[in-house]
Structure 1
Amino acid sequence: MRVSRRHFCSTVAIGSSATLLGTASAQTDISVTGTVQSAAGADLSGVELRFSHENTGARRTVTLSSDGGFDLSLPEAGTYRTTLSNTENPTDGVPLIYSFESVVVDSTTNTVDLTVPRADEIQIRCVDSESSPVARLPVNFRAANGTGASPGLFTTTEQGYVSRFGADRPGVELAGETQVEVQPPANPETSIELGTVSVSQSDEFEFTITNPERYTYSFQLIEGNPDAGFHFPYFIYTPPLAADANDDTTLTRPFVVGFRLKDVDTTWEQNVAEGRDFIRSGRVRTIADELRAPALVALLPTNPPDESFELLDHNALQVTEPPYERLDRQLLSMISDARERLADEPYEIATKIHLLGFSDAGRMVDQFTMLHPDRVNAASSGGNGFATIPQDRLTEDIPRRRPPTMETLRWPVGTADLERLTGEAFDSESWVDVDQFRYIGAEDQGDPEDLEHPSDYTHAKSYRHFGDSRQQLLLDIFGWKQVDERFETSREIFDTVGATADFTVYDGVGHSVPDTVRRGVLDFHRRSMRDEYGPIPDTETQGDARDSSSAETRSDSVDSSGNDTQDEEAVSVTGPGFGLLSGVVGVAGAGYLLRSWLLEQDSDS
């Protein structure tokens, strides 16, 4: 990659000395209070201040009040990198990311007073070697102390200018020295350094990228099209396929499909915005990038305004009037529509898809897989205790918590009435062959026995749409407790019927999807795709990785498939006062400078 930079205005450098508070001593639970003042006089409410221990990596994040005040406890004494992050709700005059001098704390009470300089809006333009603008380039920023902003917030416009997603104009507010980086879609956990901008007034910078096809991506919103069989919109995403260069091999790729479900209290505008965020920086995109596969996020309702059905329950399957008729078939129509739109891609799109979902979206995955198992290669579902039973009657070999009051398993408890509801019998043979990964957090249990009434239990799902009998049947079979009873009974049932399924309980995890769970989901889909479609082409990005909160580097010289790659590109930086620096950098052994997107997490949140 060859990089050039044109700088039109002056620059200012930032020092890196440490501010010492008190005398040295080892202690935990250290109280720190203070104030961050804005040189621009801006309201700092909602802006975050991050502390990261330079030696141990211990981290804390605190949200500032409107006057910049804060109060938090740090877990241990030592030197902390201190960084302001203004990524959630951009404020005029406050930089996106800014690092202060390191702070040393070593007593029970410390006071820290900081001043963040006024930020100036700068324009950053990315062009190719022919000076043509590079659109859809994922760009991010890193403070002088090595702390990165949250990824997935910025991309380039059709004119090549860096812009925050959803903003009405390009530009980013920065102060002092800030590193500009590209987040390769094919390897979202790393970043590639473009260069450092030094900002003291409004400026414009330009970077030349010789191989933008490796880093740019495409996603677009497809509006509902009743003539094509779907009334609701969907997002489609296509990652770059730079590594798939073997013309002698015909690649086959499945769609990676997820859901953004709208409840009655959410507007469609909000749902579209959430869907855009989800496909831009969520699990769907991460898995699509890793598998080199296109992704689709369907924006579907959880229920209609009258709440007459939920997801794909038995009432939903009987709706015949638009726009809510047969949401499962609408998803199939979205997939067909997306296949046509990607007809010119350099790969064949498989007839079977990879599904993933969590909580309600996980139940949607479960139900869709039961309805159309012949269309699903792999399905991951998390955050739910019970599962739909792949039988029409509760036979003696099926595990249950206590003797039920009925044996017929009507949908969606089981499959007894599916043929009447859909016109097609349950395809048990295809369902057993679907690769499934079901997961839950050990802390997602709760205890209904501690509550005054069972309905207060977090997981006391109400199936009011099809009566008390099916609700009671679920309790008889699966019990109350989400993890110990429901999830375990689901596992036993799947084992009994011979399903191709893995069940995993993650210790220390509640009703959420932290990085450890994300990796498990990714590993499952990677393994399933390899088994069905063959090896996944190697990742091309590798080199030295650096923790986002650290200035130190560590070696990471293999790609996501465990293989070395080779390439060589020229890098040059030009600009008034900089002279000309040029050289050749190898992507493998010599390496790009790769920065790890191990973002600072608030460890007590």
Structure 2
Amino acid sequence: MPYHIRQPRAMRIFIVSLLAGLFFLQLPTLAAVPAPTDTVLRVEANPAKGFHYAYFLMVPKKAPRQQPLYLLVETNNTGKLNDTLAVHERAARIMAAGPGGALGRHLAKNLGVPLLVPAFPRPAEQGNTYTHALDKDVMHAGGTLKRLDLQLLRMIEDARTQLQPLGIALQPQVLLNGFSASGTFANRFTLLHPERVRAVAGGGLNGLLMLPVAKVQGAALPYPLGTADFKQLTGTRFNARAYRAVPQFLYMGALDDNDAAPFDDAYDNAERQLIYRYLGEKMQPDRWAFCQQVYTQEQAKATFKTYSHIGHGTDMVVFNDLLAFFKAHL
């Protein structure tokens, strides 16, 4: 079963009820004073500003107003294909506001920083365009799906304006967090825009990372495996210097058997052959270990961890490690 359909029991156990009073505000009716409770904003799509989908902002009541804060970003991962945009928007709203919510929500509340969750679609009519993992098909897509990475950057810029009436100012860079498909999105986004990332954490990564190299053993690695076609795809050169400066926390569960490599919505046949031949057909430990080796050789500022007690999910042990990681880079 593809990993994007699963709802891991460990993840369900992790999500605890930390709900304070939440209320939704329709812009621009925002008060310029700290809210007595967590505040959640829904921001409409704004093609004129460069993003075609709505996004959500959650501001914890403990977020300080006297200093610029880092924005935490966790992209949505609905876990299924659906042509109804409202389905994906509802999942994004739950990630940002609960009940339960995603890792990012609980991290943001504990860190006292605002959280941004985009409501990107995952259309069934384009089943192999894995939007929530920022795959190759997304990077070549047109129309409203064009360059979701750039649309996310425009949302981040727009969030500055939306948070001003709440007395919230933002740092130039963002914190990135993700698990499973959203972890893969965060990993790839960091290579695409390292200068915009203060620190990034990602888990449940199929033992497969986008590598900061153009070739392995003489074989070219195009996006999303490596940087061989980076300039052709983005119009700019890969910023290796900025990338090496980004603190990363990348993790897997030792019992995780959710491997996206065999599935066509995640990788095509050409990518799959490259993965199996050069990176490792066996997800763990072979492929996961090989990716770590490349990151180390390329001097990536990455910490790797394999949790022996879990599979494709998280728990409080993982959460506490993530919290400590982000606290160290605030």
Shorter chain as denominator, the TM-score bin is 0.7 to 0.9
Kept in 1: contact 2:40–2:58 (CA 8 A): yes
Q: 2:213: which partner in 1?
A: 391
Kept in 2: contact 1:314–1:412 (CA 8 A): yes
Q: In the alignment, is residue 296 of structure 1 matched against residue 113 of structure 2?
A: no
Bigger shift: residues 498-507 or 284-293: 284-293
Q: 2:10: which partner in 1?
A: none
Equivalent residue runs for 1:106-505 within 5 Å: 151-152=17-18, 155=21, 215-241=36-62, 244=64, 251-262=67-78, 263-265=80-82, 267-280=84-97, 281-302=101-122, 305-311=125-131, 312-321=134-143, 323-384=144-205, 385-394=207-216, 407-445=219-257, 458-463=259-264, 467-505=268-306
TM-score with structure 2 setting the length: 0.83
In 1, Cα distance between the equivalents of 2:318 and 2:282? Answer: 21
State the Cα deviation string for residues 343-397 of structure 1 (Å, max 9, x = none): 24445311111011111111111111111111011111100101111111225xx
Kept in 2: contact 1:315–1:465 (CA 8 A): no
Q: Which runs of 5+ in 1 are unaligned?
A: 1-149, 159-211, 396-405, 447-457, 530-605
The one-letter code sitting in structure 2 at the alignment partner of 1:273 is: R
- Three-state SS of the structure 2 residue aligned to 1:462 is coil
Change (3 A) 1:309 1:266: closer
- Three-state SS of the structure 2 residue aligned to 1:301 is coil
1:155 CA displacement: 3.1
- Three-state SS of the structure 1 residue aligned to 2:304 is strand
Kept in 2: contact 1:445–1:481 (CA 8 A): no
Kept in 2: contact 1:479–1:485 (CA 8 A): yes
RMSD of Structure 2 on Structure 1 (CA): 2.6
In 2, Cα distance between the equivalents of 1:376 and 1:502? Answer: 16
Change (3 A) 1:216 1:466: closer
Change (3 A) 1:157 1:336: closer
The one-letter code sitting in structure 2 at the alignment partner of 1:524 is: F
In 1, Cα distance between the equivalents of 2:284 and 2:128? Answer: 29
Q: How many residues align?
A: 301
In 2, Cα distance between the equivalents of 1:504 and 1:156? Answer: 34
Q: 1:516: which partner in 2?
A: 317
Kept in 2: contact 1:219–1:235 (CA 8 A): yes
Q: Which has the larger radius of gyration?
A: 1
In 1, Cα distance between the equivalents of 2:318 and 2:22? Answer: 31
State the Cα deviation string for residues 194-249 of structure 1 (Å, max 9, x = none): xxxxxxxxxxxxxxxxxx9685110021121111211111110111247x48xxxx
Change (3 A) 1:468 1:292: same
Q: Segments of 4+ in structure 1 off by > 4 A?
A: 212-215, 463-467
TM-score with structure 1 setting the length: 0.47
**Aligned-residue identity in percent:** 28
Change (3 A) 1:465 1:377: closer
The one-letter code sitting in structure 1 at the alignment partner of 2:171 is: A
Kept in 1: contact 2:129–2:265 (CA 8 A): no
State the Cα deviation string for residues 449-468 of structure 1 (Å, max 9, x = none): xxxxxxxxx54433578742
- Three-state SS of the structure 1 residue aligned to 2:42 is strand
Kept in 2: contact 1:441–1:511 (CA 8 A): yes
Kept in 2: contact 1:239–1:292 (CA 8 A): yes
State the Cα deviation string for residues 10-34 of structure 1 (Å, max 9, x = none): xxxxxxxxxxxxxxxxxxxxxxxxx
1:308 CA displacement: 4.8
Kept in 2: contact 1:445–1:484 (CA 8 A): no
